[in-house]
Structure 1
């Protein structure tokens, strides 16, 4: 068991709450938070004891985090138990999370929108308003998917510079700020 400082506990609890808001199980998010701030890999027993959760819940949560690609199994010399660690590079970690969210949420939605548009084009009962709304939404998802695919492989320093540019990009394009 690891004794957490008040700051560590606050972070872990908050990450769990945010995970729940993002549609991720609270315990999964808390385990990720613990591994993220841990300076060394942790075994499932230490995780369960530290967070006061069932060992079975820890096992299930660790599998999910491994499926997301943000936690990996590691071995520690002299210890037969499996240990786990979080990705360290926060930029790459968020890229991996975005990749998974795109694969699990955006891509299936885009597929359904494309199918709906194909079916709607063949169905004379589909009104122009519905067709227009579906087309706008599909176009939005297509654009966001293409944009993400383009920037996904930018080197981190370039991505950081792009994001931090903020309003400079708007000004460069000659656009005025909306009040």
Structure 2
């Protein structure tokens, strides 16, 4: 775990921010972006860029760029503070809403372009007489998988958070509902 200059104590809040930064790195998110998100998520009141920079020991320019990215993901928002002309920021604190916004952003950045690219490849493959049937089949399977993921995501958007929470807590019970005669169906 990397220690940031501004986070040197062993408090639970500091540890959360550090761990969130490390997890962000695992998910392909810049460590500073993830740490700023964690700080704002835990903050009871809105913070300005100078406060964030000071608390995390991150350069002010890095904070500004990270805030823009987080606003773009809709994970934080600008909040006016009476008597202060500086921009202040507050994070979405509903974990389900936060997860849905992250999922939407990832879908737009990863799944949608993949569906489009594979569709283009399939269009091209359909007019290439020398393409091996197995190659075409694999492309079609990938397209079908991504389309299923996209459809499932669209359906999950319409499920109330309380029902999603219940569904996730059911875990193995859902799997047992899908099991026929003791065998998992495919």
TM-score of the superposition, structure 1-length normalised? 0.94
1:4 deviates by: 6.5
Looking at structure 2, the residues matched to 41 and 159 of structure 1 have their Cα atoms a distance apart, in angstroms, of: 29
- Structure 1, unmatched stretches of 5+, are none
Assess if the C-alpha contact under 8 Å between 1:3 and 1:50 holds in 2.
Answer: no
Deviations 1:122-166 (A, max 9, x none): 101211121111111111100011001001121110111111111
Tell whether the 8 Å contact from 1:16 to 1:28 is kept in structure 2 after alignment: yes
C-alpha separation in 2, matches of 1:81 and 1:4: 28
Stretch deviating more after TM superposition (37-46 or 159-168): 159-168
Is 2:99 the counterpart of 1:94? yes
Q: Alignment partner for residue 119 of structure 2, among 114, 122, 129?
A: 114
Structure 2 residue 30 is the aligned partner of structure 1 residue 25: yes
Q: Which moved more, 1:163-172 or 1:56-65?
A: 163-172
SS at match of 2:61: helix
From 65, 71, 92, the counterpart of 1:66 = 71
Distance 1:177 1:39, change over 3 A: farther
Q: In the aligned structure 1, how far is the partner of 2:10 from the partner of 2:161?
A: 31
Task: Using the TM superposition, name which of 65-74 and 2-11 deviates more.
Answer: 2-11
- SS where residue 13 of structure 1 aligns? helix
TM normalised by structure 2 equals 0.90
Structure 1 residue 105 corresponds to structure 2 residue 113: no
Partner of 2:159: 154
- 80 and 3 in structure 1: CA distance in 2 versus 1, 3 angstrom threshold: farther
**Structure 2: which 5+ residue stretches go unaligned?**
1-5
Q: Which moved more, 1:103-112 or 1:122-131?
A: 122-131
User: For 1:70 and 1:100, how far apart are their aligned partners in 2?
Assistant: 10
Aligned residues: 178
Instruction: Please give the alpha-carbon distance, in whole angstroms, between the structure 1 residues aligned to 2:9 and 2:88.
Output: 19
User: What RMSD, in angstroms, separates the aligned Cα atoms of the two structures?
Assistant: 1.8
Q: Secondary structure at the match of 2:88?
A: strand
Compute the displacement of 1:177 (Å): 7.2
Whether 1:48 aligns to 2:53 is: yes
- Paired with 1:6 and 1:25, the residues of 2 have a C-alpha distance of 23
